[in-house]
Amino acid sequence: DAGVIQSPRHEVTEMGQEVTLRCKPISGHNSLFWYRQTMMRGLELLIYFNNNVPIDDSGMPEDRFSAKMPNASFSTLKIQPSEPRDSAVYFCASSRAGVTGELFFGEGSRLTVL
Amino acid sequence: DAKTTQPNSMESNEEEPVHLPCNHSTISGTDYIHWYRQLPSQGPEYVIHGLTSNVNNRMASLAIAEDRKSSTLILHRATLRDAAVYYCILRDEGTNAGKSTFGDGTTLTVKP
């Protein structure tokens, strides 16, 4: 299996632009998680889905952030408009349903907003 | 959400055992204890998990206190490649099924 695939790996954009990060979870995994990592705040859970349904989005910073999972094999995290404080590494992770399964993380998308 | 507390940093000598502690005094009966580690410039990777009994795998051992309020990750012989940030997290099987919140972790330095 190819593992969790994230794209793009790196993105540099200007303040005010729309940013879309993409994630393909491991086939057969029912849960998908979006995390953001910065030096100041560590690894923050933004939102997670079970069976394509958002379960908890309390970690989403504000209305500029939105996430979708239209099917079991694809999810997006969108920031519109982007701001310099959104600069971070964004990780996607997936797991089988239930908490006994391990989380598999992608390699992350490093976002820089100028 | 149940929280975990870990020391900010620990040091070890190469080829010596390492015991990484984690406190989770507010753990609920439906929480599983998971450990992950993050190498520089990589995403976190799974190490081990358990519920009540001690667990062993090829990477490490997990010792869980009888009252489940603390646990210890044991690396039997540390290598330079084990230098990483180690996270202890609780995964909730209850109301917030699957919710997985990371704390600050412990930065392990391994000295040759």
Contact state of B99 with A56 under an 8 Å Cβ cutoff: yes
A15 touches chain B (CB under 8 A): no
Q: What is the pLDDT of residues B6-37, one digit of tens each?
A: 999 999 999 999 999 999 998 988 888 999 99
Partner residue opposite B96 with nearest CB, options A44, A56, A93: A56
Q: Within an 8 Å CB–CB cutoff, is residue A33 touching chain B?
A: yes
Q: Is A25 part of the contact surface with chain B (CB cutoff 8 Å)?
A: no
> Which two structure tokens, joined as six digits, stand for B73?
């990750």
| Tens digit of each residue's pLDDT (9 = 90 or more) over A22-81 | 999 999 998 999 999 999 989 999 999 989 999 889 999 889 999 999 999 999 999 999
Contact A99 B105 (CB under 8 A): no
